[in-house]
Amino acid sequence: MFAYPIFLNLLFTVIQMKSRFLLLALLVLVIIQSCTYDTDEIYERELNHPSSPPEITTVDLSFSMEEDTIILMQNSVLFHFQTSENEVQRVDFYVDDTLVGSENSENGIFELNHDFINGGYHILRIEVITNSGTGSIADEIGLEGYSFSTREWVFKVLDGSSNNVTTMVEDGFLKLVWDIPNDEVTEYIVYRGYQEVGRSAVNSFIDKGYVGEGEEFRIEYIGPNNTDPQYIGYVELPNEMAITYFANKNNKFAIQWPQPRYYAAVDSVVVFAEELVYETTKYVVDVNVGEYVIPKYFFGKEHSYKIMHIPKYYNPEYEDYLGSGGWHEFAFSNEIHLIVGYPSPIFNYMEQINNTELFYHTNRYSNSDYTQNDSLFTYSFTNEQIVSRYRYNPANFGSMNDNIMKIALSPNKEFLTAAVGYTGRIMYCPVNDPSDYSIHTHSSLNANYATRTPISNNGIGLLYGSGKKVLYNFINDEEIDFVETNTSYSDYNISFDGKYFFLDVSHTIDLYQLIDGEISLIDEVNQWSYDFGIDYFEFHENEPDKAVCYDEETKVFNVISLPALEILKSFSIPEEEVLDVNYQTNMILSGSDGLIVVRSLDDGSLVTEIPNELQFTSYGSLRLIGNSLFWKDGARYFLD
């Protein structure tokens, strides 16, 4: 509360005495009094609504945003970014995903600290951090705002001069220039490594054979006063051959490289492609093309690529390489290991959950990295970003008995079940909040095995027990009924409404119905007893009392009624097998040797076909989701 009487007395005194000193005291007191708070009151800072994310404009940068590979002649990056609204708080610089420093400004020069960088090529990424515009304390001190990440660049920092020798490019060739010694010179001698490559009467030399493979050049001279070569200096140049992987939504997959620095010296570029294990194929590409386009039929395959610049003129190292049949070493670019396709999540299990999102489970974060760090993700396949993530077990957890596997989602994508290790326990949770899980056990479940538990839209699950197959209500945590059987089944599932389930053994489907809380066998269905084949059999995902099936011999796809088992609709699918049915997009995914086909679920009409060499070793490894195919190893193919 303000002290108004004190204020008025002081003001009167100031008017009488006209004292500057007291006037200053008055102002200080007013400020102090105006900042006085009552201890029993609540004072709130006025905040603005967060602004929409601003647009970031690159005003200036040491290199182009369009470049894939950059050569930094010095260890610094010139930058200048602007935003449409919010203030730039800082710019972060990452090398190989490690934060190496920040600048608290929208423009300036950042000195790259590359003491920790071991030779070769590295990845540079820049992040621009802006405030949020709310005016909160967190916003003021930089704990709240927007983050914008640039593209990534492959880079190498070069130092063009060393010990009196400078390098440059002249007419597409390497030119060496060095200091003139304080002595009379007859001629200069140029060494590449340990081999003499030329002599010059002037203090420069153009090496037409050098193609950027990386080498040390040494300069010496002889003169009338020095018949023995005298040392001037040297320069060590790094390997400048670099490639990147390119993929777009038009299904163009390519290995790309920048124009060679010493382009006039390069005759062609050879791409070394390991497309089959221990087999390397060579492709010769014109030096001006700058890319090798990977054929689309390799979608989903694991490949390795590297390139070599082929010299147009004499190069002693390359001649030794040819003469030795490849045993003598000559420089390659960096080698890229990739899965052919548009990069996408690596998954063990994946389902489309709505028109824009999919749900997936993985314990792999690279194609060679298997861990017990199982995570459940929601991923926007339209925005290509993770929406949510839940990890059931702690990071780097090592026990096989506390990770999740054998995921199953209800047809309406509301419920999830998973086996918890090899313990006989089942995890049950809502798909949109896996943290709200419960753990269920049943006497029939074998503690040494992990089995999948299909679940219906009303929470009824089918437990694959030892000696029993049990219908179990996860919502009420109670057993409904069971079937006694010790048979080992290759497949099993439950209908979306919980009315039916099947057990598949060899070429026979044991089809059951739940009536008034009791299980009843409808029939043992096989291709000899009915006019439809069952090489593929599943319940319809959103139409009651229906199932779909496919006969690999007759190539006929059927929609049948339940429990009557009468054919409602039939059409031909010429492919060898049905791989997936997506009821949200109303499409069927089928395949034959060398071919992937997408057809309409209405009548089997062709949507698109893709020549391909994938081997479908397990159901669910290739998923038809939205307008794309998703391969388990992290590749996506966009449909027309």
Residue 44 is classified by DSSP as -
DSSP 139-199: HHTTSSEEEEEEEEEEEEE---EETTEEEEEETTEEEEEEPPPSS--SEEEEEETTEEEEE
**Per-residue model confidence as pLDDT tens digits over 409-439:** 999 999 999 998 888 889 999 999 999 999 9
- Rounded alpha-carbon distances, angstroms, from residue 615 to 280, 426, 596, 612, 628: 21, 31, 11, 9, 18
**Per-residue model confidence as pLDDT tens digits over 593-628:** 889 999 999 999 999 999 988 776 567 889 999 999
More confident position, 86 or 478: 478
Helix boundaries (H) for 435-561? none
Task: Say yes or no to pLDDT of 200 above 90.
Answer: yes
Which helix H or strand E contains 148, and what residues bound it?
A: strand 145-157
| Average of per-residue pLDDT across 376-394 | 89
**Per-residue model confidence as pLDDT tens digits over 304-355:** 999 999 999 988 888 888 877 666 678 889 999 999 999 999 999 999 999 9
Neighbours of 99 (CB within 10 A): 11
Q: Which residues contact 391 (CB under 8 A, 6 or more apart)?
A: 373, 374, 375, 376
To which residue do tokens 């538990």 refer?
A: 453
**Per-residue model confidence as pLDDT tens digits over 163-187:** 588 899 999 999 999 999 988 999 9
Instruction: Say how many Å lie between the first and final Cα of the chain, rounded.
Output: 71
What span, in angstroms and rounded, lies between the C-alpha atoms of 154 and 335?
13
Q: Which amino acid is at 517?
A: G
What span, in angstroms and rounded, lies between the C-alpha atoms of 323 and 213?
18
Contact 344, 636 (CB under 8 A): yes
| Average of per-residue pLDDT across 243-254 | 95
Residue 137: pLDDT band (50, 70, 90) is low
Give percent of the chain above pLDDT 70. 78
What span, in angstroms and rounded, lies between the C-alpha atoms of 612 and 410?
31
Sheet containing strand 357-366, edge to edge, reads 349-352, 357-366, 369-380, 385-391
For the entire predicted model, the pTM comes to: 0.72
**570 forms bridges with which residues in the sheet?**
558
The tokens describing 138, both together, are 């967190």
